Amino acid sequence: MKAIRRFTVRPVLPEPLRPLSDLARNLRWSWHAETRELFQSLDPEGWQKAGGDPVRLLGAVPAARLGDLAQDRRFLRRLTAAADDLDDYLRGSRWYQTQDAAGAELPAAIAYFSPEFGITAALPQYSGGLGILAGDHLKAASDLGAPLIGVGLLYRHGYFRQSLSRDGWQQEHYPVLDPNELPVSLLREEDGTPSRVSLALPGGRSLRAHIWQARVGRVPLLLLDSDVEDNDPGERDVTDRLYGGGSEHRLLQEMLLGIGGVRAVRTYCRLTGHAAPEVFHTNEGHAGFLGLERIRELSGEGLDFDSALEAVRAGTVFTTHTPVPAGIDRFDRELVAHHFGDDGELPGVDVERILQLGMETYPGGEPNLFNMAVMGLRLAQRANGVSTLHGAVSREMFAGLWPGFDPAEVPITSVTNGVHAPTWVAPEVFRLGARQIGAGRAEDALSVGGSQRWDAVADIADGEIWDVRRVLREQLVYEVRDRLRASWRQRGAGSAELGWIDGVLDPDVLTIGFARRVPSYKRLTLMLRDKDRLMDLLLHPTRPVQIVVAGKAHPADDGGKRLVRELVRFADDPRVRHRIVFLPDYGMAMAQKLYPGCDVWLNNPLRPLEACGTSGMKAALNGCLNLSVMDGWWDEWFGPDYGWAIPTADAVGTDEDRRDDLEAHALYELIEQRVAPRFYDRGDSDLPERWIEMVRQTLASLGPKLLAGRMVREYVERLYAPAARAHRALDPDTARELAGWKARLRGAWPRVAVDHVEALAATAVNGTAELGSTLALRVRVALDGLQPEDVEVQAVAGRVDSADHITDGQTFPLKPAGGPDLEGRWLYEGPLALDRTGPFGYTVRILPAHPLLATSADLGLVAVPSEETGEAAGVLMR
């Protein structure tokens, strides 16, 4: 029978057990093993059934059991200890407070927006790496005491759950998530009514949303939910699922996230007295509309669009996460135009100006599309990619937005991702460290970092490390069998057919893991390139390997689903099914077992499309070695002690098919010749000593770099603190002045020019010069009414390639030495040291200069000598 209405009956906890409710509602339990153990001891079986979710557990524990526990002195003592520990965690002064007290002038609050958050499997609001990174960011911020407010959407179906059909085709399910059964609570006004935000839609419609809050340690996470009764059915569905629906659906989600999100933050601050954010951070472009809402807020305070834009940019940070075009949101211009302006949201903000912000004004750009990443870059004075390599790739990719600048100068920096170790390090591994240095210091080492503490790993005995690795591998074997059995039942098999599953995987065989989403660039099936070869590796008589694979394809991606099916069919083959498995429904709960249980983590994307990749980091923190293409973080921190680099066949002109062949071949070779021999190379003590040494190095030397604590500290120091200072500097008057100055510069710029360049005391005879000599440059520039303080005139010098392009240029500021002459030209001078041998060249350029610009590329304006000026002056020397 189908119920006509559902509601949730909340458990009433006996008074002495009340603290359980706080412990369950603060998601810190998800990275605090002791709190989880406390919940588990309430009802071990119920804990299993509740999927390790305290809120569900409390809803299911029989009242009689609760009554007993309320009398159980030992339990109550543990409960008090856990509650006190949480209290200390929430109140104590931490890294951020220490920095701030030392005069770092850190922001009073930072709002962090993301379309998905992966905090725990119990709050399934993520699809993959982007969301889990956002979750790790909040958790690390909490550990460090950084005052973040997370902002996202609450999707009624989350992302989909994956299962398989009999023949291996991905099936998608969308279970309904009832917020009343999730670890969230409604934000309410003082009178108890639920707080609401409301957006105006075209045709007089409204999009309303409630605000749910989750507590992530010290950090509140606000999640907007459009499933409220006074919305029309269409609007109720706006937050139905993550990354589902067509273009208009996506646009509405992103308007709610960006615009509604700012309103939710304002509401939250009003109700709780939380400090207002000085910095807004948008995790990928989806939340970019937050900048427009803040422009609207300032317009209401009397600022014109350009001045408001300056004020908003100063305090905005934008992180780009992908060089894959399909990962970037682009909307039809018309669609965006239709939703903004006087008939839609942001009345009073000129629609044309909005549209310009998202325009792809570079060669190859689509004039009719509105690009969220491009808008993100224009609305943020500070932007970054997520690994050193990805920073460089992003600068190339977006260089067209800064014409006249070399990609190296494009103002996009990078902060390499990290992962939240307390979430991802298995308790067994944690205890290895805790035995050396004590639990408290081990906890600090994982959350805050500090490499001395990690050095203690060096003293752990080989046998101890290997025992733990074996235990973890064995746990994974049992987990895999359980999941595989469940999957086969779902695929329609009866128990009688499934006896073979008890023999799947072997706790003593080298175990390789590969799990991630299935976009084509990640190449799920590269390992199947030569199936016979792979079979030989799996079935090797003395050095076999076993492989665990998992991953979801996007529901609209049939190509990805074909890859899944190909993998499943291979793994179904009775000849190999005990050595390779595909586990459906990859998610955080599976990941937490998978990373620690594997010996080797495989990653074979098409370089350089993996912006960072974080699963390999989580694996490494558990002593798993990486086997990866040199992409993302691995390109930066690879070391021969940490694993193996799969060589890349990315020479220009190699077609993709051939490239896959070459790289797959290299992968097989590595496994056969290097990885497996080392794993099975047992010394006198029957231990693989060289392998264990690699595990030890991975933990001790690589480990501390991989922490989300390290990442968040970098964001604070390199991006949030400067953004907060810039934000404070831009009060309304200053914002107006800066906007006015920019307008003046843009107006004058077409007539700003380098007129004449000469090198006095030039020792460049016949095009050669001596190392150590100095050129005195004299340059005449036309500034068209601008003053010397408005610009910087620079010499740029360095090695030149065969096309006379300066490759590793250094800049030398030149000083004004007179002017203006009768034609309004200024003289600039300065020395240029010839401090390196070989082909060398220099040029001169003029850039805008203002103390409030984050970089001189900020306006995208630069003036360089015309061809004639350059040649007449003999600018280049060979």
Which residues of the chain form contacts with ligand PLP (CB under 6 A)?
128-129, 132, 516, 586-588, 591, 613-615, 618
**Smaller CB separation from ligand PLP, 582 or 586:** 586
Q: Which residues contact 221 (CB under 8 A, 6 or more apart)?
A: 117, 119, 138, 149, 150, 151, 152, 213, 214, 215
Q: Which is nearer to ligand PLP, 221 or 619 (CB)?
A: 619
**DSSP 3-state of 669:** helix
Q: How far is the CB of 134 from ligand PLP (least distance, A)?
A: 11
* Alpha carbon distance 105, 268 (integer Å): 24
CB of 515 to ligand PLP, least distance (A): 7
Whole-number minimum distance, CB 610 to ligand PLP, in Å?
A: 7
Cα-Cα end-to-end distance for the chain: 86
* 195 vs 322, beta carbon nearer ligand PLP: 322
- Residue 726 beta carbon to ligand PLP: minimum distance, rounded to whole angstroms: 31
Q: Residue 596 and residue 822: Cα distance in Å, rounded?
A: 75
Q: Is the CB of 129 or the CB of 560 nearer to ligand PLP? A: 129
Work out how close the CB of 89 gets to ligand PLP at its nearest, in angstroms, rounded to a whole number.
Answer: 24
Nearest approach, Cβ of residue 653 and ligand PLP (Å)? 28
Q: In angstroms, give the least distance from the CB of 61 to ligand PLP.
A: 29
Burial class (CB in 10 A: 0-12, 13-18, 19+), 855: middle
- DSSP state at residue 106: -
Nearer to ligand PLP, 231 or 614 (CB): 614
135 versus 704: smaller Cβ distance to ligand PLP? 135
Strand-pairing partners, residue 772, are none
Taking the complex as a whole, how short is the minimal distance between the CB of residue 138 and ligand PLP, in angstroms? 15
- How far apart CA 394 and CA 371 sit, in angstroms, is 15
Residues 6+ apart with CB under 8 A from 613: 129, 603, 605, 628, 631, 632, 633, 634
Cβ-in-10-Å burial (0-12, 13-18, 19+) of 564 comes to buried
Angle between helices 439-447 and 129-144 (to 10 degrees): 130
The least distance separating ligand PLP from the CB of residue 208, rounded to whole angstroms, comes to 32
Evaluated on CA atoms 614, 243, 324, 395, the torsion sign reads negative
CB of 471 to ligand PLP, least distance (A): 21
Q: Least distance (Å) from ligand PLP to the CB of residue 615?
A: 3
Nearer to ligand PLP, 437 or 702 (CB): 702
What minimum distance in Å lies between the beta carbon of 517 and ligand PLP?
6
Question: Which residue in 314, 315, 298 sits closest to 349, CA to CA?
Answer: 298
Q: Min. distance of Cβ 128 from ligand PLP in angstroms?
A: 4
State which residue, 576 or 591, has the beta carbon closest to ligand PLP. 591
Nearer to ligand PLP, 703 or 848 (CB): 703
DSSP string, 107-140: -S-EEEE-S-EES-TTSEE--SHHHHHHHHHHHH
Give 419's strand partners.
707
Helices 721-729, 305-314: crossing angle, 10 deg rounding? 150
To ligand PLP, the closest distance from the beta carbon of 511 in angstroms equals 17
Half-sphere CA count of 659, side-chain side, radius 13 A: 16
Cα distance between residue 420 and residue 137, in whole Å: 8
CB of 37 to ligand PLP, least distance (A): 22
Peptide bond just before 115 cis, omega within 30 deg: no
Between 129 and 596, name the residue whose CB sits nearer to ligand PLP.
129
Helix (H, G, I), strand (E, B) or coil at 778: strand
Phi, psi of 247 (to 5 degrees): -60, -45
Handedness of CA 276, 281, 286, 288 (dihedral sign): positive
Q: Which is nearer to ligand PLP, 44 or 51 (CB)?
A: 51
C-beta closer to ligand PLP: residue 157 or 516: 516
Closer CB to ligand PLP, 217 or 587, in the complex: 587
| Cβ proximity to ligand PLP, 149 vs 393, nearer residue | 393
Q: In sequence order, what are the residues at sequence separation of 6 or more whose Cβ sits closer than 8 angstroms to the Cβ of residue 289?
A: 254, 255, 257, 258, 259
Select 126 or 405, whichever has its Cβ closest to ligand PLP: 126
Using CA atoms, how far apart are residues 816 and 633, in angstroms rounded to an integer? 44
Contact 611, 387 (CB under 8 A): yes
Q: What are phi and psi of 860, to 5 degrees?
A: 70, 20
Phi–psi pair at 481, nearest 5 degrees: -65, -40
Q: Closer to ligand PLP at the Cβ: 131 or 809?
A: 131
Q: How many CB atoms lie within 10 A of CB 13?
A: 18
Shortest Cβ 147–ligand PLP spacing (Å): 26
Both structure tokens of 178: 């009832």
Do 224 and 258 form a contact (C-beta atoms < 8 A)?
Answer: no
CB of 587 to ligand PLP, least distance (A): 5
Q: Which is nearer to ligand PLP, 99 or 127 (CB)?
A: 127
- Name beta bridge partners: 513: 548, 601
Comparison of 546 and 614: residue with beta carbon closer to ligand PLP: 614
Distance of CA 240 to the CA centre of its chain: 23
Total Cβ atoms within 10 A of residue 71: 10
Given a contact cutoff of 8 angstroms between Cβ atoms, the answer to whether 251 and 335 are in contact is yes
Q: What angle, 0 to 180 degrees and rounded to 10, lies between the N-to-C axes of helices 305-314 and 290-300?
A: 130
User: What is the helix, strand, coil percentage profile of the chain, to 5?
Assistant: 45, 20, 35
Smallest distance from ligand PLP to CB 611, Å:
8
